[in-house]
Structure 1
Amino acid sequence: MLIGLLPWALILGVQGGQKSMSWLEMLMMTGMNFAGGSEFAAVNLWVHPLPVLLIATVTFMINSRHILMGAALAPYLKHTPLKKVIPALFFMCDESWAMGLAEAQKRKAAGLGFNLPHYMGVCATLYIAWIVFAAFGAAVGPLFGDVAAWGFGMAFPAVFLVLMRGMWKSFAAARPWFVSLIAAALTYLSVDGAWYVPAGTLSGLFAAYYWGAEP
């Protein structure tokens, strides 16, 4: 997981450094908004003067998927004290959510509860690695050219493919994924902005509800 994550964090930092972001600004942004997709969107919109409202709106739209991710974890966290749940959800990202949910499902099948130490260990590892390498990338960013040409961009999709493979059950169960993918792709190609995020999310939800209601 880290092999795919670290180059992507470096790319984020380098792109931020080339937009005149300092390593401290990058460290604070990634530390307070632990969500890679919205961070890349913020960096792409990073100009002077800063379009604060636009960045905040796009960040909210992209991070809206965390609402669904938190809802998926809710049944496993219902017996956990709120003072532990809030930090657990703050450090939740796509990778830690997928790994934590897979672990929770295995433990539930064995009659066990949610393994919070395991989940927080995953979160801490990913969090520290992400913010440190992103800050390092911002510090050395001005020294590099177009890092996108290096091909490291495939690292992030590769990580998600690995996560999806670990959660794969059957083609029938994955139909909402494909509906979400197609809707998001079509919206991305036809509508400017980050509208492909809610489009993919809502279409996937409707597809899951429709097929989930079948006998």
Structure 2
Amino acid sequence: MSISEIALAEGQSTDGRGGEFRRGLAASTPVLLGIIPYALVLGAQAAQKGLSVAEVPLMTGLNFAGGSEFAAIQLWTSPPHILLIAAITFLVNSRHFLMGAALAPFINHLPKRQVFPALFLMCDESWAVGLADARRRADAGMRPAFSPAFYLGAALPFYLAWVAFTTCGAALDPVLGDVETYGFALAFPAVFLVLLRGMWTGFAAARPWLVSLAVAALTYLVVPGAWYVAAGALSGLVAAWFLAGER
């Protein structure tokens, strides 16, 4: 079977980069709609902590890592504890080491001018969509397995929506009040449960996630403050390292 026939059998577009971009956009749209509520929550929380409508898109656009931004806002004081926030941000974002390593075999043939923007746009959602597509293409015998245009179509809308709706959350905070009363905060775990289901390969591979969840929950119950974030991130990384050594 030719690559074109495989692509058609997979329901994939064969009309060049534009078709691949649209395919990536279509694949990411269901998850994209799910990030809007918790983008509004983050923007509103940032406004309540004193960040201006101009400062919120700077934070979300330059950092672009939702989990660490939520952690940073929870720790935000006046004046802010810069070193603590930086350390927590590093720990929460350290999962990107593993995410990048999983993506590396599919992008190591690309020039750096494509790799660096792809890694900047990499968030949990775009990484999951892009990696799943690359694996499907590899299993179908398509080379190269990684489609930069598909990935751009999947990743860029996440970036634009995240910056736009966190800004909207900050701007609308005086009108909406506490947006968590609308149940928007539920969107954050809901999106990750969907991603987790799509990446599920069995209990053995999920053990680091379960270790991280258990340690974070226990720390949340017994230690004041936001140390559960650091505890969950570190325990997950350590568990992944030890369990990888077993294999």
TM-score (norm 1): 0.90
Which of the numbers 52, 61, 71 marks the counterpart of 2:91? 61
Whether contact under 8 Å (2:211, 2:235) holds in the other structure is no
2:97 corresponds to 1:70: no
Cα distance change on mapping 1:139 and 1:98 into 2, 3 Å: same
**Residues 101-180 of structure 1 mapped to structure 2, 5 A cutoff:** 101-112=131-142, 113=144, 114-180=146-212
Whether contact under 8 Å (2:65, 2:123) holds in the other structure is yes
**Residues 1-215 of structure 1 mapped to structure 2, 5 A cutoff:** 1-112=31-142, 113=144, 114-191=146-223, 192=225, 193=227, 194-195=229-230, 196-210=232-246, 213=247
Whether contact under 8 Å (1:184, 1:200) holds in the other structure is no
Mark the structure with the bigger radius of gyration. Answer: 2
Aligned residues: 211
Work out the CA distance in 2 between the residues paired with 1:15 and 1:176. Answer: 30
Structure 2 residue runs without a partner (length 5+): 1-30
Work out the CA distance in 2 between the residues paired with 1:102 and 1:61. Answer: 25
**Pairwise CA distance, 1:101:** 0.8
Structure 1 residue runs without a partner (length 5+): none
Work out the CA distance in 1 between the residues paired with 2:221 and 2:107. Answer: 38
**Pairwise CA distance, 1:37:** 0.7
RMSD of aligned alpha carbons = 1.7
More off after superposition, 14-23 vs 137-146: 137-146
Work out the CA distance in 2 between the residues paired with 1:59 and 1:175. Answer: 23
Whether contact under 8 Å (1:8, 1:155) holds in the other structure is yes
Cα distance change on mapping 1:23 and 1:88 into 2, 3 Å: same
**Pairwise CA distance, 1:80:** 0.9
TM-score (norm 2): 0.79
Secondary structure of the structure 2 residue equivalent to 1:179: helix
Whether contact under 8 Å (1:176, 1:208) holds in the other structure is no
Cα distance change on mapping 1:180 and 1:207 into 2, 3 Å: farther
Residue identity in the other structure for 2:200: W
